[in-house]
Amino acid sequence: MTKAECEARVRAVLAEVEPDADLDQLSSDANFVEQLAIDSLSLVDFVLELERETGLRVPDEDLPGLTSIDAIVEYVIARQPTAA
């Protein structure tokens, strides 16, 4: 998966969790939790949906570093299985 594809998937998941959010105005390096005023329940929903979408498991200890779309994209790309 390319970076662009990954970012599109992350934004799609975010749009599912926060359908009223204006994601076109959200910078990829902005703290999306603060900028979109996402509550803790919506954040949990986002992470669960991201796990379903990517097939990855996101341990609780990794959550504090996942504050921007850029950070999430880098996280997902770094954990994608490599081709054999």
The DSSP-derived string for 37-65 is T--HHHHHHHHHHHHHHH-----GGGGGG
Query: Confidence class of residue 1 from pLDDT cuts 50, 70 and 90?
Result: confident
For the stretch 11-69, pLDDT in tens is 999 999 999 988 888 899 999 989 988 888 999 999 999 999 999 999 999 999 998 99
Q: Which CATH code is given to the segment(s) 3-78?
A: 1.10.1200.10
CA distance 45 to 29: 21
